[in-house]
Amino acid sequence: MSNDVLVPAPPTLPTHKPIRLIDETGRAVTGTQTAGFRMPDTDTLLSLYRRMVLARRFEAQVTALTRQGRLATYPSALGQEACEIASVAALAQQDWLFPTYRDTIALLTRGVSPVEILSFFRGDWHTGFDPHAHRISPQSTPLATQALHAVGLATAAKLKQDDTVALTFLGDGSTSEGDAHEAFNFASVWQAPVVFVIQNNQYAISVPYSKQSRARTLADRAIGYGMPGYYVDGNDVAAMYAVVTAAVERARAGHGPTLIEGLTYRMEAHTNSDDPTRYRETSETAGWLDHDPIDRVEKHLDRAGALTTAVRASIAAEAEALATATRDAMNETPVLDPLEVFDHVYSAARPALLEQRAFLANELAHTDTREAGAA
Amino acid sequence: MTLLDEIRTGDARTAGISTSHASAERAAPAILSPAPAVSIAGALNAALRDALAADSNVVVFGEDVGPLGGVFRITDALHAEFGEDRVWDSPLAESGIVGTAIGMAMYGLRPVIEMQFDAFSYPAFEQITSHLAKMRNRTKGRVTLPIVIRIPYAGGIGGVEHHSDSSEAYWTHTPGLTVVSPSNPADAYSMLREAIESDDPVIFLEPKSRYWAKDAVELPVHTAPMTRAVVLRAGTDVTLLAYGPTVKTALHAAELGAEEGLSVEVVDLRSLSPFDDETVGASVRKTSRAAVIHEAAQFGGYGAEVAARVTERQFFHLAAPVLRITGFDIPFPSPKLEEHYLPTAERVLAALDTWEW
């Protein structure tokens, strides 16, 4: 792998204060805290806002369905919409996304249908969508492993001289895994067109950041790998969009990887089997309501006069339609073929698996007969 | 200086590595001239060269596989011939090597990667078992991963700790992987070419103690499909089931047995997963007795699977229990003690005597 493009990393550590473009009151931030990044135009912000509202409504519906037992589990990203949506919005169609199990709304925003996404959490099949059709890898449950896949794919694209960029999400907890280190290092050594977005939502299930890392910021780590790092207010969709877009452009131009830490907060439990009251004060969670990512850009757009009554109504109607469609789809009982479990293990049939398939087919046939007899 | 030291310090001549270049080995022979002597190492090198030439999506990377040509010289001269974008050195991290290969394969490349030594593959265990093996299944066949992981494996070369493991049971226990091991130069060439052409991930176990074993072979060569077992020596009294480094042990045992009037059939399994029940079953039905030989520890090992399969399927043809001649249930011993650990032909024959025929 030739490293023909060698761009020196910035000589300084990321700024101590997270990069922001919009504050909690919706006002534009000026001064050093913008780190020279420019505010996206109003149309872009409106588009990001709309997608965040849709995503939040979608997750509220899915969480309700999970509580009703329609889904096996669901890891909510409530509160993390800015990180998720800004990152995906910064990608071009030919780019690839490498998500974790929590990044469902990123898939939704990239155009995967609710049924294709949720079949994973409903328990129909491990991945319900076609990765090649959407340029999204399966949602990774093992931690940080998908970051290496992103580096590999981006490297292959570079070898083929395509202008494809790979973006991978990581959580704060997953940065403790060895694969995170290997991914950062490989990407930098190979100057792979990769963007690492760490969503620091402060908890790895129950373990707070203070027990995960002593690093001042996770973005600080970038300099040790020889790549630029940015510490961003992850609840500021404008800042996240500006920084991720710059990183994607940098990667596409052949200047290698970038590490971005979005400082955010997971408002909900890890999954429905988690009890967050055991490990954090409810006052802490409530305090983050002041930092809500949707609320902030909404105030900003309101000030700009972009959120007319008609626009609000249109977005609200779209969100309700999405929730209804999701609810209807998930209330249908999926028809699954038990014998399909043997069909995708290898590219060619194997005698031993055909034997086991026939065994299960026979068992199913007798089960049907018994049930018919009992009825 | 141990054999391993000689290999690692690059003294290929004393280490017994063929110093002839593969191009010379592949030169068209004069009419009626004998086929050239080719080592397993040379055959693997030729297979990689031919695969790289045949398909521009094939890439070779790993630790020290570039200008050095690999610690065993299996990738010798490939870097110079195909360039930095086809054959290159990676950072020293096995999980990273496998993980990035997965991403490359998702984008259409066909990576052939090296784990350098058997026990060095363990840092990549998660990538191999959680992702490489499962990707096809979890995506309903939409994502295929045509990746070959070459693992120089097993003992017999005086390797220090962590350089002589036999890890086949971990990989064969993982659905989604194909696991093969050649025992001779012709199979080494043919099976590696087939493994690279396979759309499924293949764990390619190279018996490092046999790297320098030579046969007269005209390359390129096509032998039996890599998923099939082959009867290497016909016999009527007992079937010895072996693979990789223990095939030589089995053939040696067959010769010693013949001196004692024992007719020994030797089956080279070649493919550990899938298992060729057909070829093995036919042999066992003929001989009524079977023993499996491997270097790995016995408990929970691959031999247990072989013994169970043969017993389940051929029970009424068996005259005696299926035996296992294996390493002991201990971590692989130090170089000066490995001779006491490794299964020998004498140990095989002694085991057969327990049947009392």
CATH of the domain at A57: 3.40.50.970
Same domain for A207 and A141: yes
Residue A26 domain flag? no
The reported pLDDT for the residue numbered B165 is: 96
Tell me if chain A has a CB within 8 Å of the CB of B204: no
The reported pLDDT for the residue numbered B34 is: 82
Tell me if chain A has a CB within 8 Å of the CB of B81: no
Taking an 8 Å cut-off on Cβ atoms, the answer to whether B136 and A344 are in contact is yes
The DSSP symbol for A27 reads P
Taking an 8 Å cut-off on Cβ atoms, the answer to whether B136 and A345 are in contact is yes
Taking an 8 Å cut-off on Cβ atoms, the answer to whether A152 and B107 are in contact is yes
- Å from A26 to nearest chain B CA? 40
The reported pLDDT for the residue numbered A374 is: 53
The reported pLDDT for the residue numbered B48 is: 98
Same domain for A226 and A158: yes
Taking an 8 Å cut-off on Cβ atoms, the answer to whether B131 and A142 are in contact is yes
The reported pLDDT for the residue numbered A13 is: 65
Residue A307 domain flag? yes
The reported pLDDT for the residue numbered A273 is: 83
The reported pLDDT for the residue numbered B357 is: 81
Using a 10 angstrom Cβ sphere, with 0-12 exposed, 13-18 middle and 19 or more buried, the burial of residue A213 is: middle
Same domain for A270 and A361: no
Choice among A279, A350, A366, A370 that is catalytic: A279
How far, CA to CA in Å, does B284 sit from each of B91, B227, B309, B356?
A: 47, 19, 11, 18
Strands B110-114 and B264-268: unpaired
> Please, are residues B338 and B332 in contact by the beta-carbon 8 Å criterion?
yes
Mean pLDDT of B334-347: 97
Same domain for A174 and A84: yes
- Å from B45 to nearest chain A CA? 20
For chain A, list residues with pLDDT below 70: 1-14, 368-375
Residue A10 domain flag? no
Measured distance CA(B257)–CA(B350) in Å, rounded: 10
Closest chain B residue by Cα to residue A168: B103
Taking an 8 Å cut-off on Cβ atoms, the answer to whether A346 and B178 are in contact is yes
> Which residue out of A194, A347, A356, A357 would a mutagenesis test of the B interface target, given it has the greatest number of B Cβ atoms within 10 Å?
A347
Taking Cα atoms as reference points, which of A223, A203, A222 lies closest to residue A213?
A203
| Total structural domains within chain A | 2
Q: Which residue in B59, B91, B137 is closest to A186 by CB distance?
A: B91
Domain range spanning residue A347?
Answer: 340-373
Using a 10 angstrom Cβ sphere, with 0-12 exposed, 13-18 middle and 19 or more buried, the burial of residue A195 is: buried
The reported pLDDT for the residue numbered B105 is: 98
Same domain for A153 and A130: yes
Same domain for A345 and A310: no
For residue B3, pLDDT over 50 is answered with: no
Residue A13 domain flag? no
Tell me if chain A has a CB within 8 Å of the CB of B336: no
Spell A114-134 as b/e; 16+ CB within 10 A means b. bbbbbbbbbeebbbbbebeeb
Same domain for A310 and A176: yes
Residue A3 domain flag? no
Which residues of B are part of the catalytic machinery? Answer: 163
Tokens of A344: 């995708």
Residue A20 domain flag? no
DSSP string, A149-208: HHHHHHHHHHHTT----EEEEEETGGGGSHHHHHHHHHHHHTT--EEEEEEE-SEETTEE
Q: For A209-359, where are the E strands, in sequence order?
A: 229-233, 258-263
Same domain for A346 and A312: no
Same domain for A358 and A288: no
Same domain for A300 and A350: no
pTM above 0.90, yes or no: yes
- Identify all chain A residues contacting B176, using CB atoms and an 8 Å cutoff: 345-346
Residue A301 domain flag? yes
Q: How many CA atoms lie within 13 A of B14 on its CB side?
A: 11
**A241 catalytic residue (yes or no):** no
ipTM confidence: 0.94
**A270 catalytic residue (yes or no):** yes
Residue A271 domain flag? yes
Same domain for A130 and A84: yes
Report pLDDT digits (tens) over B126-160: 999 999 999 999 999 999 999 999 999 999 999 99
- Å from A163 to nearest chain B CA? 13
Q: How many CB pairs under 8 A join A and B?
A: 141
State which H helix or E strand residue B297 sits in. strand B290-297
Q: How far apart are the first and last CA of chain B?
A: 45
Tell me if chain A has a CB within 8 Å of the CB of B104: yes
Same domain for A349 and A325: no
Taking an 8 Å cut-off on Cβ atoms, the answer to whether A189 and B91 are in contact is yes
Taking Cα atoms as reference points, which of A369, A364, A370, A368 lies closest to residue A339?
A364
